[in-house]
Amino acid sequence: MTRIAICAPGTPITSEDAARVEALAKAEFPELQLDFHPQCFADGGHFAGPDEMRLGALLACANSAADVVWFAKGGYGSNRIVAQAVEALSGRSAQQQWFGYSDCGYLLAAAHREGFARAVHGPMPVDVRREGGTDAIRRALGWFAGARAGLEPDLGGQPAVAFNLITLAMLCGTRFLPDLTGYAVLVEEVAEHLYAVDRLFFHVTEHLRGIAGLRLGRLSAVPDNDRPFGSDSEAIARDWCERTGIPYLGLADIGHDAANKIVPFGLAADFARS
Amino acid sequence: MTRIAICAPGTPITSEDAARVEALAKAEFPELQLDFHPQCFADGGHFAGPDEMRLGALLACANSAADVVWFAKGGYGSNRIVAQAVEALSGRSAQQQWFGYSDCGYLLAAAHREGFARAVHGPMPVDVRREGGTDAIRRALGWFAGARAGLEPDLGGQPAVAFNLITLAMLCGTRFLPDLTGYAVLVEEVAEHLYAVDRLFFHVTEHLRGIAGLRLGRLSAVPDNDRPFGSDSEAIARDWCERTGIPYLGLADIGHDAANKIVPFGLAADFARS
């Protein structure tokens, strides 16, 4: 039996989302035991409950016997509790996986840097809402059950991390981002104007000299600007890589969509089928 | 005669904007000579001309006999030419003022860090379009003519800088931001959601430990989110200052508006009436 404890460090999901995910798990992955913390459904203002409640649920999951802490949804807010989580958990060994993406990247970064959990980028319960979302959920559940089919296909033998671009930008230079020297850094973004994406690449490439290279995931739901930017996302990524001497390593199969693949932080080989 | 050379490192203005500013200067400040570089009106895609054209105009203004290089407009783009400007100008002494705000903060930061120009935050020609915009233009022209009435009123005897918040966030940790230890840092923002402002404060306060303190200018045109953030801009600034041990020093009279006051980088006393 693999135990999955679920909390929402940013914004909430609904009990209907949780019920759909639980039904899928029960039908197809009977060896998994899912435990949605009630904080997942807390809906007080912007966040899934105040900082103290979200931190409390995160630490309750982290300190339980769970094999995996699965983040229910991103949105915004995990950066507001990451310092406290680091303070509470630093020093323990990385038996547990922390699994999610988007805004939860703050927690994944800190877990990988401090080594108190094994960070993995991958689909979250909220993705059940997407078209084709059950495939995304199935990919995560399969991973928890030991399958490795959901891995991003081009990780090779190189250490990697995956981040939402603005989350990575906000982490750069802080005490929460691991040293990424020698890593492939995969980025994806949603709902940002291309000029803002260009600006974020300025920032992250200034910070990431020394990485093995950058790979570009999908940019989805790019809003129209008052005038066209004149360059697409891959040209933007290539341009800033070239300016800063960072190898551009091509596209990555990640994004805010149902096809979003799994990227374990570090070496994928360290996450062999258990 | 004080000579003002004007270029547009980001996005363009119109010849009508320039004509209105020139007419005001001619009528009220005959001792000023304004020279709008034709690049100010270049309208090829997103930017006021390609990077090479914008850099060329900036360097032409910088290397002319102008006493002041006045940036016509922000928008987005000065970060794309800042590295080249530093390469071309580093080592020369700071005889010239560079004057503007918003996206032009990348150039102001680099000029102050490298010491090749005296950076000043203040109104730009594009502000003539605003309601009350002629007052903003008059404030800048008055400063060029030697008046000090347009100074932000609470600078005191402390070194200061002023930035658009996202511009400052993108500068943090890069080779373009000066060491701000002991500085009062004034920030303002426009057209960002409050949750994004909160996220930016997370980033900049992580980077700015050691500053004398933070002062909050105006946040204008804040878009409505799908749900209220539950906190206002001053509460956000206070919160992140408290979390990181940065003194919160109160409000600042700067913003994307006609009342935007002048903030010389460094000590205002070093910019005494000439």
Residue A117 has pLDDT above 90, yes or no: yes
Residue A268 has pLDDT above 60, yes or no: yes
CB contact under 8 A, A230 and B45: yes
Q: Which two tokens stand for residue A78?
A: 């995990």
Task: Report chain B residues whose CB lies below 8 A from the CB of A166.
Answer: 199
What interhelical angle do A82-89 and A51-62 show, nearest 10?
A: 30
Is A259 near chain B, with CB under 8 Å? Answer: no
Q: Which spans in B145-270 are helix H?
A: 165-171, 194-207, 233-244
CA of A127, closest CA in chain B: separation in Å? 19
CB contact under 8 A, A46 and B207: no
Of the candidates B79, B80, B228, the beta carbon closest to that of A46 is on: B228
What per-residue confidence (pLDDT) applies to A227? 80
pTM attached to this predicted model? 0.96
Measured CA distances, A133 to A19, A127, A128, A140, B2 (Å): 14, 5, 4, 11, 64
What per-residue confidence (pLDDT) applies to A53? 97
Is B72 near chain A, with CB under 8 Å? Answer: no
What per-residue confidence (pLDDT) applies to B230? 85
Regions of chain B where pLDDT drops below 70: 273-274
What per-residue confidence (pLDDT) applies to B23? 98
CA of A47, closest CA in chain B: separation in Å? 8
Is B174 near chain A, with CB under 8 Å? Answer: yes
Of the candidates A46, A169, A207, the beta carbon closest to that of B230 is on: A46
What per-residue confidence (pLDDT) applies to B228? 84
What per-residue confidence (pLDDT) applies to B173? 97
**CB within 8 Å of B41: residues ≥ 6 apart:** B12, B13, B14, B15, B18, B48
Q: For A172, name the nearest residue in chain B, comparing CA atoms only.
A: B173
Task: Report chain A residues whose CB lies below 8 A from the CB of B83.
Answer: 243
Q: For A170, name the nearest residue in chain B, comparing CA atoms only.
A: B203
CB contact under 8 A, A76 and B198: yes
CA of A144, closest CA in chain B: separation in Å? 31
A204-248 tens-digit pLDDT: 999 999 999 999 999 998 888 778 888 899 999 999 999 999 999
Kindly report the average pLDDT of chain A as a whole number: 96
Q: What is the complex's ipTM, to 2 decimals?
A: 0.96
CB contact under 8 A, A198 and B80: yes
Over residues A54-72, the mean pLDDT reads 98
Residue A270 has pLDDT above 80, yes or no: yes
What per-residue confidence (pLDDT) applies to A45? 84
Residue A273 has pLDDT above 60, yes or no: no
Task: Report chain A residues whose CB lies below 8 A from the CB of B166.
Answer: 199
What per-residue confidence (pLDDT) applies to B114? 97
Is B48 near chain A, with CB under 8 Å? Answer: no
